[in-house]
A and B are shown apart, each in its own frame.
Chain A
Amino acid sequence: MGALLEVRDLKKYFKTNSGLLHAVDGINFSLETGKTLGVVGESGCGKSTLGRTILHLLEPTDGQIFFGGKDISSPGKAETRKLREEMQIIFQDPYSSLDPRKSVSEAIMEPLKIQGSLSKDEMREETRMLMETVGLAARFENTYPHELDGGRRQRIGIARALSLKPKFIVCDEPVSALDVSIQAQVINLMLDLQEKRGIAYMFVTHDLSVVKYISDDIMVMYLGQMVEKAPADELFRDTRHPYTRALLSAIPVPDIHNKTKRILLHGEITSPIDPGPGCRFMARCTHAAGGCHQMQTLEECSPGHFVACCRYKEIEKEDTA
């Protein structure tokens, strides 16, 4: 059996007044059942758009998406319905992703209601089970989101996503709005669920320590493009792309002795509107040279480790020298 999800050359452009905004620009990856792909990047790099495009919450401009071996690039209405039962999303902000006028049980029951294959009693039973699964006490059934804390709200969001028993969930920064101690609880819950149900996650985040912890593979995005992708440990151990290096070095480490030298980025961020063909990181890159004006191709530098930089080998040498 092949990959659960495969994305080929996916593109999503938005029309703006000043030109085409290349939010997602030629992304390729594949994901197997029960695995997690971490997607990292800064705000505006297109990581959230990528997740939404795969789920067809946004229509892709170009490219192909295969799910369970089937091409789902342009599904019909019925197919979309079917897909949404197998692919779900958990949103970033537990404050705005829940309808303030729906109680906890109403929110969790909604997907089941829409699906319409269960009787009322069965739905109620299922809702209770889901609440138990995500660790929400039954007494919260009739409370409203604004009465609950962020961690509990995010559990509602997870229960909603789980209700249709999906095989794949896009997690769009699910813990970045939560406090550390709560964040750890939610991450553990998500890992438990993955273990039990074999769900594949695409974990979108800007928090690198979380992503390393939860992911099997990590993909680093910069202005709509993938600049580097590698198994989680390897990405941190053997960082190749200059942007990834800068990104990793910028994480503040809660350790006063281990102060690594930060690579500071200068220069303006290239506009994602009608960008040129060259490397999009060039303007901020300290290693930029002539070859960077050309289109960058993804190169496999070691098994499973891809990097889109024409100078990664030279940079390696420059740094060790």
Chain B
Amino acid sequence: MVTKLKKTRKKSKLKDLWRRLKKNRLAVAGLIVLILLIFIAIAAPLLAPYSYSAQDSKASYSTGTAEHPLGTDKLGRDLMSRLIWGARASLEMGAIAVAIAAAVGITIGAIAGFFGGWTENICMRVLDIYQSIPMLLLCITIAAILGPSLQNAIIALGVCSVPGYARLMRASVLTVREKEYIESARAVNAGNARIILQHIVPNAMAPLIVEITMGVGSMILAGSLLSFVGLGVQPPTPEWGTMIAEGRNVMREHATLALYPGICVMLSVLACNLLGDGLRDALDPRLKN
């Protein structure tokens, strides 16, 4: 019975969030685009008219024919198919890298914020040093050391963006920590683990959710960049960043080769940011009701 109740309650909370999010049309549009992209990525084998590596030797650099609506590249590979397949690597990169960064960052931030004192000091100073290295440089270095592959690019991206999440979480925890209900939990004998997991993290998450959503966008962007410099996804696997890199060489003659993947990147980033923005408003307790 308890589980049943819990379910209805969870639903109502989500419903509440959806009700508020719904009002923001741009956020809804972002959500739809994002769902669409995820669907495309999952259903790529069904949607793509050709294999991403299938070469059509007769149609090198063709533009908008019946067979190849978005044209082909130098090797005669269908651009649309490659874009559809590319959604996989790009989204994967965005989502997993953010997941890694957020998981590590939230843990560090929650611990630093909750315990304070020297724990906090050590955590934050390490992050300071970390952040004094330009993120991209660090990212490229890590990816280069690990060796170029999709997996390693994801790890590099994730590791590099930990500090942002950790800082945000710490700040959020600092405000929650001072709330009376934390003291109230302590007064009924709750241990630190319980206080952190049951009371602090759930209440400190709101700004993080926004940051995570927006983070997916910037990770896709950064991932494209890594692929662009040859440290991400390796050919022939398509990825939007790599595709831009390839298209760049023939930009003057065949602009669409770089343009279409560029639009894809832009669209997904924009979708994430709009959704993140909408979520921020929907989650902000001051605007509630």
Quick check: A115 and B189 within 8 Å, CB to CB?
yes
Instruction: Tell me the dominant secondary structure on chain B's binding face.
Output: helix
Taking the closest CB of chain A, its distance from the CB of B196, in whole angstroms, is: 13
B187 contact from A89, A99, A142, Cβ within 8 A:
A89
Quick check: B190 and A114 within 8 Å, CB to CB?
yes
A98 contact from B5, B181, B186, Cβ within 8 A:
B181
C-alpha spacing A129/B8, complex, angstroms: 24
Q: Which residue of B lies closest to A157 (CB)?
A: B184
Mask, B166-209, CB within 8 Å of A = 1, is 00000000000001110111111111001000110011000000
Taking the closest CB of chain B, its distance from the CB of A186, in whole angstroms, is: 17
B180 contact from A97, A120, A124, Cβ within 8 A:
A97
A99 contact from B2, B5, B181, B288, Cβ within 8 A:
B181
- A114 CB contacts on chain B under 8 angstroms: 188-191, 194
Q: Which residue of B lies closest to A80 (CB)?
A: B189
Q: Which residue of B lies closest to A115 (CB)?
A: B189
A96 contact from B181, B188, B198, Cβ within 8 A:
B181
Q: Does A164 contact B (CB under 8 A)?
A: yes
- A157 CB contacts on chain B under 8 angstroms: 184
Q: Does B9 contact A (CB under 8 A)?
A: yes
User: Which size bracket describes the interface of A in this complex?
Assistant: 20 to 34
Quick check: B203 and A100 within 8 Å, CB to CB?
yes
B190 contact from A89, A96, A110, A120, Cβ within 8 A:
A110
Would A103 and B181 be within 8 Å (CB), given that A57-B187, A85-B189 are in contact?
no
Would A97 and B184 be within 8 Å (CB), given that A103-B9, A142-B5, A142-B9 are in contact?
yes
Quick check: A55 and B187 within 8 Å, CB to CB?
yes
Q: Which residue of A lies closest to B289 (CB)?
A: A146
C-alpha spacing A102/B2, complex, angstroms: 14
Quick check: B188 and A99 within 8 Å, CB to CB?
no
Mask, A76-104, CB within 8 Å of B = 1, is 00001100110011011100111111110
Name the residue in B8, B186, B188 with the highest tally of chain A Cβ atoms < 10 Å from its Cβ: B188
Would A101 and B202 be within 8 Å (CB), given that A114-B189, A114-B190, A115-B189 are in contact?
yes
Quick check: B189 and A91 within 8 Å, CB to CB?
no
Quick check: B187 and A84 within 8 Å, CB to CB?
yes
Taking the closest CB of chain B, its distance from the CB of A83, in whole angstroms, is: 9
Q: Does A160 contact B (CB under 8 A)?
A: yes
C-alpha spacing A175/B198, complex, angstroms: 27
C-alpha spacing A92/B180, complex, angstroms: 9
C-alpha spacing A100/B187, complex, angstroms: 17
* 24 A-B pairs (CB sep. < 8 Å): A52-B183, A80-B189, A81-B189, A84-B187, A88-B187, A89-B184, A91-B184, A93-B180, A96-B179, A97-B180, A97-B183, A97-B184, A98-B181, A99-B181, A99-B185, A102-B199, A110-B190, A114-B189, A114-B191, A120-B2, A142-B9, A146-B288, A157-B184, A160-B188
Q: A81-B189, A96-B180, A99-B203 are in contact. List 14 more A-B contacts (CB 8 A).
A: A57-B186, A84-B188, A84-B189, A85-B189, A88-B187, A89-B184, A89-B187, A91-B180, A92-B180, A93-B180, A98-B181, A102-B199, A110-B188, A114-B189
